[in-house]
Amino acid sequence: MKRYTTVFLVGLVVLLAVVLAGVLVYMKNQPVQQRAVAPIVEIAPMEPDSSKWGINFPNQWASLLKTETNNIDTTYGGSSQFSWLERDPRQVILFAGYPFSKDYNDDRGHMNMLEDVRATKRLNLNDEDPKHTPATCYSCKSANNPALWDEMGMEAYDAMSFNEMTPNIHEPIGCANCHEASSMRLIVTNPALDEALKAQGKDWTTFTRQEMRTVVCANCHVEYYFQGAGKYLTFPWAKGTQIDQIVEYYEESGFKDWEYPETGTPMLKAQHPEFEFFTAGSTHYNAGVSCADCHMPYVRDGASKYSSHDVKSPLLTVEQSCGTCHTDTEAVVRRVNTIQEQIATTKQDTEDAIIDAITALKAAAANPDADQALLDQARNLHRKAQYMWDFVSAENSTGFHNPEYALKILAESTNLARQAQMLAAQSVNDPGLLATGTYYKTAPAQ
Amino acid sequence: MKRYTTVFLVGLVVLLAVVLAGVLVYMKNQPVQQRAVAPIVEIAPMEPDSSKWGINFPNQWASLLKTETNNIDTTYGGSSQFSWLERDPRQVILFAGYPFSKDYNDDRGHMNMLEDVRATKRLNLNDEDPKHTPATCYSCKSANNPALWDEMGMEAYDAMSFNEMTPNIHEPIGCANCHEASSMRLIVTNPALDEALKAQGKDWTTFTRQEMRTVVCANCHVEYYFQGAGKYLTFPWAKGTQIDQIVEYYEESGFKDWEYPETGTPMLKAQHPEFEFFTAGSTHYNAGVSCADCHMPYVRDGASKYSSHDVKSPLLTVEQSCGTCHTDTEAVVRRVNTIQEQIATTKQDTEDAIIDAITALKAAAANPDADQALLDQARNLHRKAQYMWDFVSAENSTGFHNPEYALKILAESTNLARQAQMLAAQSVNDPGLLATGTYYKTAPAQ
């Protein structure tokens, strides 16, 4: 009898320990999203086909489908495919020698990603050797990616060419890019983001749901580059995500995207650093607002409330996006327009300064007697000035995600561009290279 | 009997008409502030002695008295009398040849105005000919002014010297500067503000009380200059209150505050354009917030609620000032610090650029062979760049009243300063004048 009691007690202790461990493991993980109804169908892990997820989440799926046709413009941005090169012909000069000077359209909604990346003239997929375009360009374009990365690893993925990868890619951006099928929790799916966070000592599985409502956007909406011969997708965050830390990273790595024609400047192209920009102490981020709060506001369908997946400019959903916190939404719209106008005009002044620097650098570089040390200093300032400008210009908010940051960066960029021009003039001892407004004196090469 | 009835009816009609007219006149004027209790004492119109008003309004008066000792600093400003010349030695160079390079202390609270204006070394009141300092300098320093302006007119006031006016001035800033004694409503008392508003077709008697809670601050917290030999107090608002409109005004008038030594630049000194700065579409102004909402927040004394007259930085009363709208006041403070840090560092970059321009201009101006047309263009850009910088620098919020505006202006100022430097180099065909960071190469002349 005593023996049975002992066995029973030991068994009970073990059972309790197992249950306790289970509870602790459960509690350690972020809270799992509660669903009001049981799923209708089971979703396979990393299921690429969003329409299958849509059976369980018809509202979210219906709103995601709207991104195919939500091509409405705002004053400074929006989701139509307008040409930046036509809207601001300075960009034709600024990206000379790089594919962005040939084809640079504003991006459409999520459902069009695949069609648009295959259509852009930037990739030159019909070249004699199309292999120079790596599969890495698909990294932010498809819901097939999480499963592919899981199966083959990102290194093997990125080592393939774009055209070789094409048969594996069928779906545009979808559910699997941000959600775990079994729990619907928000997850990091892009291995490059996972690695960049880990390098900073950050573990995204410990983030709150509200934090994840910003972090999952960083699966794509970040600055990145293709590292080395394997075109390995890499975020330049090793020193931090602030602009000066990213510039320092690139200076140490010596990476260049292309060489500017006739000036010899080793150039950098900024991508779309929305995450870095917004999280750099912006008013809204500081107030605890996430990307999804504004771009995926809660909307209603009858009695059910859901986060709209029709991701677009909050200026198109002011009541739902801004009205949650701001009572006077008309005032909000006025204010956004004022801020974006200030940034757009300041940005053009910066562009004019960089083009003046380019004009001077071309003349100096063509002069065999130029002081090469001064010329290299001038090139380095051109490189930094244009990257900083592009960090603001390529960021998809006309600076609104962090207006002060945008204007501070533009002020510094203009200053560096003017210093590049002055150094170019000094390198050939020719004050004739100090002309300003050179953009207006030459017809832009379209 | 019928005759009496007629007389009675006519009398009644006249009486009703008079009453109706009275009601209409009453309604046309802005709502008169309601007082909970009848006044204890009658206050004479434009009574300079605030202690007499204090009998009726003891809380307001007690809080006004606190401004004598509220000399607490914030990170970037505050109300202690720290020296700007010591905090930022670049300002010694930037104001060379002007009294601000000798004495430039931060301003203390309202009750110290009189003591401080009489103590500043800028006025040189012990000069052999102290008459060069006009009485106009008292315009924003005393509650005696409304009565004096009423009695003698501003033209006669401004035509006197500072020392001649001194016997008439006993009181620091007080009740009479913003309130009408009979009604306690907020009023414009400075004739220069009245004239500047009228010139824009604006009638302040039609403004709402909330509008007046910003406009009365413009009795003093504005950009102004002393016009002509009569030193007539004038706000440069004829074209508007935006920075480009004010610069255009000064360009047309050709006014200068002083000539910069060795460069020959006709300089402008910005005063404290808080009103122009805040009302230029800032976030808070756009949201309907007034100066008083933040700087004179409602506080409680037992059961009575009143607007604190201890005017100072809202960073010292975050709960009362910011907490009315912002729930997370710790986040507010972090955000204010981030913004002010961005503006303070950008401002120093602008100062460095202007000092480089000054260094180049001095060398060019000393060269008899300089192209005078180019040199004059360079001087004009120096004039504009420094005025725009000063418009931000002299404004008492380290840009926080309108951060994007501050940064946009600083970006433009830096650009103009670099262009001034380049033109100076071109005027003498000497790329040697393109050195940058010249401030760091010379010990500031203290």
pLDDT at A37: 59
- B277, B338, B369, B402: best mutation site toward chain A, by most A Cβ within 10 Å? B338
Given pLDDT bands bounded at 50, 70 and 90, which one contains residue A217?
A: very high
Looking at beta carbons, which pairs linking A201-209 to residues 24 or more positions away fall under 8 Å? A205/A29, A205/A30, A206/A30, A207/A30, A208/A30, A209/A30, A209/A31, A209/A33, A209/A185
pLDDT at A446 over 50: no
Its pTM stands at 0.88
Which residues on neighbouring strands pair with residue A259, listed in sequence order?
A266
Mean pLDDT of chain A: 93
CA distance B192 to B198: 10
pLDDT at A443: 55
Q: What average pLDDT does this structure show over B324-339?
A: 92
CA distance B271 to B390: 8
In tens, the pLDDT along A261-274 reads: 999 999 999 999 99
Whether A418 sits inside 8 A of B423 (CB atoms) is no
Cβ of residue B284 closer than 8 Å to a chain A Cβ: no
Q: Are A331 and A129 in contact, with CB atoms under 8 Å apart?
A: no
pLDDT at B1: 55
State both tokens at B361: 């201009």
Cβ of residue A338 closer than 8 Å to a chain B Cβ: yes
Q: Max alpha carbon distance in chain B (Å)?
A: 106
pLDDT at B29: 57
Q: How many CA atoms lie within 13 A of B413 on its CB side?
A: 31
pLDDT at B10 over 80: no
Contact residues on chain A for B418, CB-CB shorter than 8 A: 353, 414-415, 418-419, 422
Q: Over pLDDT 70: what percentage of chain B? A: 93
How big is chain B, counted in residues?
446
pLDDT at A419: 98
Given pLDDT bands bounded at 50, 70 and 90, which one contains residue B446?
A: very low
Which residues on neighbouring strands pair with residue B266, listed in sequence order?
B259
Q: What average pLDDT does this structure show over B97-110?
A: 94
What is B247-304 written as a DSSP string?
HHHHHHHT--SEE-TTT--EE------HHHHHTTT-HHHHTT--HHHHHS-EEEETTE
Q: What average pLDDT does this structure show over B141-157?
A: 98
- A337, A342, A392, A409: best mutation site toward chain B, by most B Cβ within 10 Å? A342
Give burial (CB, 10 Å; 0-12/13-18/19+) of A313. buried
Size of interface A-B (CB pairs under 8 A): 122
Cβ of residue A131 closer than 8 Å to a chain B Cβ: no
CA distance A365 to A370: 7
pLDDT at B215: 98
Which residues are CB-neighbours of A110 under 8 A, at least 6 positions away?
Answer: A64, A67, A172, A173, A174, A311
First to last CA, chain A: 95
Q: Are A138 and A226 in contact, with CB atoms under 8 Å apart?
A: no
pLDDT at B7 over 90: no
Q: Which residue of B has its CA nearest to A337?
A: B281
At residue B226, the 3 state secondary structure works out as strand
ipTM score assigned to the predicted complex: 0.86
Cβ of residue A286 closer than 8 Å to a chain B Cβ: yes
Q: What average pLDDT does this structure show over A279-295?
A: 96
State both tokens at B142: 């005393």
Given pLDDT bands bounded at 50, 70 and 90, which one contains residue B28?
A: low
State both tokens at B25: 């006149």
> Position B374: which residue type?
L
pLDDT at A177 over 50: yes
Rounded to a whole number, what is the distance in Å from the CA of B417 to chain A's nearest CA? 9
CA distance A117 to A390: 20
Q: Which residue of A has its CA nearest to B348?
A: A412
Q: Over pLDDT 90: what percentage of chain B? A: 83
Report the range of poorest mean pLDDT among A19-33, A150-164, A171-185, B34-48.
Answer: A19-33
Q: What average pLDDT does this structure show over B326-349?
A: 95
pLDDT at B26 over 70: no
Q: Which residue of A has its CA nearest to B418?
A: A418
Q: What are phi and psi of A134, to 5 degrees?
A: -80, 160
pLDDT at A322 over 70: yes
Which residues are CB-neighbours of B136 under 8 A, at least 6 positions away?
Answer: B157, B158, B226, B231, B232, B233
Given pLDDT bands bounded at 50, 70 and 90, which one contains residue B8?
A: confident
In tens, the pLDDT along B205-225 reads: 999 999 999 999 999 999 999
Whether A425 sits inside 8 A of B414 (CB atoms) is no
Kind of pairing, strands A225-227 and A232-234? antiparallel
B404 closest CB neighbour out of A349, A407, A423? A407
Q: What are phi and psi of B238, to 5 degrees?
A: -55, -30
